Amino acid sequence: MQHSIAAGHQSLRNDGNFLQTGLICVEADGLAPFVLLGRTIVLICTAEDRPSFEPGIRLLLLSLGKHNPDLPIHVTFPGATDEFVEWVEERPKVTLVRKPITDSWGVNIKPDVLLSLLDQGHEEIVWIDSDIIVLQDISPLFENLNAETFVFTEEALGGQGYKDEGWRARQWGLQVGRILPCAVNSGVIRVTSAHRGLLNRWRELMASKEYRDVHRADWRNRPMHMNTDQDVLTAILSSSEFANVPIKIMRRGKDIIQYYHHLGYTVSERVSNMLGHSPKLVHSQGPKPWDHPWERVALSDLRRYFRETYLDLSPYTLAANRYKDQLNGDAHWLRSHFKLSRILRSIGFWYPPLVGLPLALWYDIAEPFKQIFRRGRARAAKNTQ
């Protein structure tokens, strides 16, 4: 095993990988665990293969640097430009890898990255998606957990198949061992070496021919149990094989804002946040504000106007605005794109629970009516068959 250790500076390997803990810099084929004052500490990791996600990665790193300055972060980003590499070099806690971890890049990257980091000796790893901003110290979320506890986030309310009830496991042909209270969202997950079996199983199902074929075909025809990595994870955690893995669910609205379409940040979540239960993370699911076409929408198309304005009022964008001067890139997307969003941002004092509250109120009230209408239409269609 080759290795070299240097204090206080970064070293860049020929293949473009560098590894650094901030205190000691380790360059090795098989890595020692990150050790701080003789104690193994949590490693944060993310990976991204879409170059257009660079603003998201920057915001994740900036926000972690602000709220959890002691945590080491491992970033796999093959699309990193030289300018990005230079920017990362100023962040002593960040390790950037520009080489893809496996050939099977894409949908099954999460178990691959986590297993590879466990192989390198890390004991506890927290995966965070590149479309998440940390709003405050996240360490309390992972305190007092035993090694067996698997942590994941609650799926967004408007997410596909929010209620699972063992459905995904059955569709995969697995025996149902428990019913999860909600579908899994894999935006934030915590694993330890106790979860190797689970991660291997997750990787195995996503490497199956069936799953790969579905992902090669038109995404609109994907069955829900194979839609993304988190649907597979929901199936596995519900299966009898892994039914006794203890779980901790980070709650939507309380621990993390799952900003996804029109139910991304409900009135009750906003009220509870105003009363002091402030979420520690915000997740920009669905369209990404930094990468959105932001076309002009006529007021006559009210549905679309509201939908676009709701995205423009995202608590993710409001949180991102604090880092505007440190983004080193295009910060144009942070401005208001519609008259209504400009007004609501200023009368809400840029305070996330207040900004967007009128639209959330509208959607919360409209939703039950929409459901009744949908059910009625489905019944009518059945009767005419």
Residue 347, phi then psi, degrees to nearest 5: -75, -15
Rg (C-alpha) for the chain, rounded Å, is 22
Strands of the chain, DSSP E: 3-7, 24-28, 35-36, 39-40, 43-47, 73-76, 94-97, 124-128, 132-134, 150-154, 184-192, 247-250, 256-259, 281-284
Q: Which is nearer to Mn ion, 48 or 129 (CB)?
A: 129
Strand order, beta sheet including 281-284: 132-134, 281-284, 256-259
Measured from the CB atom, the residue of 19 and 188 that comes closer to Mn ion is 188
Asked if residue 177 lies in contact with residue 241, where contact means CB atoms within 8 angstroms, the answer is: yes
CB of 274 to Mn ion, least distance (A): 25
* Nearest-approach distance from CB 378 to Mn ion, in angstroms: 31
Closest approach, Cβ 253 to Mn ion, in A, equals 17
Record the tokens describing residue 304, joined without a space: 């679309």
Please identify, using beta-carbon distances, which residue of 284 and 341 lies nearer to Mn ion.
284
- The residue among 48 and 308 lying less far from Mn ion, judged by its C-beta, is 48
Residues of this chain that bind Mn ion (CB under 5 A): 129, 131, 187
Compute the distance between CA of residue 86 and CA of residue 67 in angstroms, rounded to an integer.
Answer: 22
The Cα–Cα gap between 334 and 313 comes to 10
In angstroms, give the least distance from the CB of 364 to Mn ion. 23
CB of 56 to Mn ion, least distance (A): 9
CB of residue 129 to Mn ion, shortest distance in Å: 4
The minimum distance between CB 371 and Mn ion, in angstroms, equals: 26
Nearer to Mn ion, 131 or 269 (CB): 131
* Closer to Mn ion by Cβ: residue 187 or 264: 187
Q: Torsions phi, psi of 75, nearest 5?
A: -120, 125
Q: CB under 8 Å to 100, separation ≥6 — which residues?
A: 49, 76, 78
Q: 54 or 129, CB closer to Mn ion?
A: 129
With CB atoms as reference, the residue minimizing the distance to Mn ion is 129
